[in-house]
Chain A
Amino acid sequence: QITLKESGPTLVKPTQTLTVTCTFSGFSLSTSGEGVGWIRQPPGKALEWLILIYWNDDQRYSPSLRSRLTITKDTSKNQVVLTMINMDPVDTATYYCAHRRVDWTYGHDAYDMWGQGTMVTVSS
């Protein structure tokens, strides 16, 4: 059974750096084909995909946020860490991590398990 849980600050000041951690179980990010992504959702708005890391450290980024995002994994701890620099009030959102469904076919990405999300408010 795959589970994921996000943790991090609830409040961040403008220009600061956000660091949120995804702790998961039920799979290993050292196993071929595995991946974990981050998706966010501003209050009352649509989902927005941010970033994805694969078991082999390959990464995919949202083009519009690429310069601000960093993702790392710690396979020994079963954790993935998202870092976003230069936070702005428009970055206020619930941040979700999710397990990428294992599929070797290009363009068949899907997220089959999600964490509960962590709400981050950006305000001075």
Chain B
Amino acid sequence: QSVLTQAPSASGTPGQRVTISCSGSSSNIGSNAVNWYQQLPGTAPKLLIYSNNQRPSGVPDRFSGSKSGTSASLAVSGLQSEDEADYYCAAWDGSLSGYVFGTGTKVTVL
């Protein structure tokens, strides 16, 4: 059902850098801004990155976002145990006239 595709899982050891990818199309990522949300276990999602690469106040600079064509990426550097969560990309889709979320990536800190 999701039009944005993410790998189901990613993992790393503390201190490592982990990258999560999000693949879309010209009607969503290709023409609109990408956002990333972090969902810690049992909690509501939290906006992590907006407008492709902007961090809301309070989000550590260990989190960074980028976009190229119809794909986007979220990088987490200096991985910490509290980063263990589900991460979702999202964007407006002009063809659907709706907001679409990615399939989600579960990050595990080994």
Contact = CB atoms under 8 A, between A and B. Distances in A.
Interface of A: 37, 39, 46-49, 52, 60-64, 96, 101, 103, 105-117
A108 B46 contact: no
B97 A63 contact: yes
A interface, by DSSP: helix, strand, loop or mixed?
Answer: loop
A96 B32 contact: no
Interface of B: 1-2, 31-33, 35, 37, 39, 43-47, 50-51, 56, 88, 90-92, 94, 96-104
B44 A115 contact: yes
A107 B101 contact: no
B46 to A, nearest CB: 7
24 contacts: A46-B101, A46-B102, A46-B104, A47-B104, A49-B100, A60-B99, A61-B98, A63-B96, A63-B98, A101-B50, A106-B32, A107-B32, A108-B50, A108-B51, A109-B33, A110-B35, A110-B47, A110-B50, A111-B45, A112-B47, A114-B44, A115-B44, A116-B43, A116-B44
B31 A107 contact: yes
Contacts of A37: 99
Contact of B47 (A47, A101, A106, A107): A101
